[in-house]
Chain A
Amino acid sequence: MTWVFPALGMLVAVLTSISRGSARRYLYASGLGLLVLFFAFPFSSALGYLSREAVHPTPAGLLPSAPVLGTILAVAVLALAPWPRRIHGWVGGLGGLLVLIVVFGWLGRGVFLARIVPLPGVMEGAAALGLAGLAFLVLRGRGALLALVAAALVGGGSYALLAGPAGHTYFPRIAGYYKLLTPISAQETRELIERYNAGLEKANALRAEIGLKKLEPIRSLADLEGGLPKDLAREGVRLVRPASLRYGTLAALFLAGLLLASGFFLARKPELAEEGDLTGGLVAAGVFAVLVPSFYATEFSLAKLVKGWPFFVNFLDRAWPPRLADPAHNVFPLQEVASQMALTVEIALVGTFLAMLFAVPTSFLAARNLTRGSAFTRAIFTLTRAFYNIDRGVDTLILALVFVAAVGLGPFAGVLAMAIHSIADLGKLYSEAIENVEKGPIEALEAVGASGTNVVRWAILPQVLPLFVAYTLYRFEINFRVSIVLGFVGAGGIGFFIQNAMASGMYDQMIIGIIAIVLVVNLIDFGSSWLRSKLV
């Protein structure tokens, strides 16, 4: 199935060239993508004795054992060079072909032994470089020199921390994370295996005494597919399995296909290039470099979905038709859903109302234009904004877990969590509304000699009140959807019903809850947006 990946890459290039999009952009994108891949994406796996001893080296890490992989780097660099367009196309096309050959060649290679050489400081350096870049970007507006100095300080400081004993205590996996795999010659491989086989007799005698299975001597490297013997693994030897696909291999195949096809199109039609191709390629490569590892990390797998499909169908079978009531067994799910739904709406109402109660007064303290007066008011502004920012970061569900522990299971915990989290969101929206009021009426009321509080009351409040109401309604919509989930952590409402029905396998009751949620969510969204449209 590996051919799917280069085919996908080619398909992207074909579709783009049909719509007369730039082919050169893909040359840059795949060149940059291959560059990132070469240094950062795992390309194969290498087994040790324990599963946690397995390493997943990058093409750069495999370079000492397989110098041919350097082709990927060379092609990437060549694809990024400033060629004339037609030549660029040929370079890209041939380069893509070359990468395809190299990768498929690598996949066809048999297993071999290699020794791991951890490179200290690489991950630490990469992390420090990232932080320094971030510092530079944040401070760039305040002058290049300041930004450079700050970036150097941040970078140097974080490198010293991460590479020092503290960093290695808090992030134990960072030390020597990046590894090279140096080759072990055929001669040495043979010696290693012979040594192992020679020691077997003694080991097996010991194992027999404590009732363990006898170990077989190694005849070929293929015998090691299940894992290396303990002693070899301890020495830093790993069994590299080129055929084991990692996402880096698949990404390389995709990019090679893209490079091959778009290079071909550019060579045929040099006009398939645009002004901002390098920037476009950079963006595409950036998205690619972030998305591919994320898909891997989230264990995205179509195969699992296919395998799980019958369970899904089974679920639907058992959920339909819904069981609205069963008087014989004294269960009335529809009644239960109606009551719980009412409770859910009530949680959202009370939570939003309480939040509004606290957000209205604090939002005036968090409005920049009202707090410019003195150092004291500016300090209050900073404090209020800091409170908002921290509060916004702690989600309702997390607060609900804490409150369930504090005040017990039930809707009260949900209401508290919702109220506290919503203060920040509402307060921030309110204060932005206050900051955006028209200045004219404020000036006019100052000019008639009204006191400060009266200026707020008569020049600002009439302007922001409709917005406050609109934002509160909007927050209520969100809070209703949140309160559905609150039940799952035991904070009352329809979520609790659904969780119970699900846990006891009564899908025909649970489906009533789901249908009710769909209906009420749409109803509330519709009603609230209608009300909001009337306000402004």
Chain B
Amino acid sequence: MIEAKGLGVVFPNGTEALQDINVTIDDGEFVAVIGLSGAGKSTFLRTLNGLVRPTSGSVRVGGVEVGNLSGRSLSRFRRTVGFIFQQFNLVTRLTALENVLHGRLGYLPTWRGLLGLYGEGDYELAAGYLREVGLSGKENVRVDNLSGGQQQRVAIARAMAQQPQLVLADEPMASLDPRLSDVILGLLKSYNEARGVTVLVNIHVLELARRYARRVLAFNQGRLVFDGPAESLTDELAERIYAGSLEAL
């Protein structure tokens, strides 16, 4: 369960990225987060795994107060939260399998991680998730030899390999061919349905949010302006969400 209460983030340069966010998300939900770029979607996702620290209010994930974590406890928490980036953020000189294995690093003692001494089970998990995202046979291919869509699927497998309680995907299709959106979102959706893991996806294409998500959160200039089922997000409402941001531009 995710609970944000009065959550606010002010960047060192004075930008108010998030203001007074109050939201509760139950386990197993598939939530789309919409809004224009700069509206605070990314920052919201990043506060959920501690990449960005809240400057006011609180955010609890699975009963843990994320803002209070640091050092080892932060690592312990992060290994339970998969994060999928817009730019994939893979280590492109390593193979697909090695990148997926990185998802297991949080579970290994540091010295074993340093030497790359993953357990038998880790290899099985990694190979299994690569198969699940449709990349069996590509295990030993260097990532820079894979296409963009394949790279993002490796990144999804890396997040899955963490065996997370929560998966956060920050605009996972934005750097890909639009036709691949269904592949990526389909993978996340079926993972969510099969394992019951909570998934939050930042999307700026309204159409996709409506198609995949049951629940939609909309951000505008750092505020949560809509929280409800996808069906109740009328065209008029959507226009207001986006138009407000345009004025600010």
Contact = CB atoms under 8 A, between A and B. Distances in A.
Nearest to A456: B114
Interface residues of B, number: 30
A441 B162 contact: no
A449 interface: yes
Contact of A448 (B88, B103, B110): B103
Q: Specify which of B81, B87, B88, B105 lies most central, judged by the most chain A CB atoms within 10 Å of its CB.
A: B105
A458 B110 CA distance: 12
Contacts of A453: 110, 113-114
Interface in A390-436: none
Interface in B94-113: 94, 102-103, 105-106, 110, 113
A447 B51 contact: yes
Contact of B93 (A450, A451, A466): A466
Contact of A449 (B77, B85, B87, B89): B77
A53 interface: no
Given A443-B85, A457-B113, A457-B114, A450 B91 contact: no
A389 B225 CA distance: 55
A446 interface: yes
A448 B107 CA distance: 9
Interface residues of A, number: 20
Contacts of A450: 75, 102, 105-106, 113
A450 B158 CA distance: 13
B76 A463 contact: no
A451 B91 contact: no
A447 B158 CA distance: 11
Given A454-B113, A457-B113, A445 B51 contact: no
A462 interface: yes
B78 interface: yes
A440 B49 contact: no
A459 interface: yes
A446 B71 CA distance: 11
Contact of A447 (B78, B90, B114): B78
Contacts of B81: 447
B110 A454 contact: yes
Contacts of B158: 444, 448
B79 interface: yes
B219 interface: no
B110 A449 contact: no
Contacts of B110: 451, 453-454
A333 B184 CA distance: 72
A451 B102 contact: no
B44 interface: no
19 contacts: A440-B87, A441-B90, A441-B91, A444-B155, A444-B158, A445-B105, A447-B81, A447-B83, A448-B83, A448-B103, A448-B162, A450-B113, A451-B110, A453-B113, A453-B114, A454-B110, A457-B114, A458-B91, A466-B93
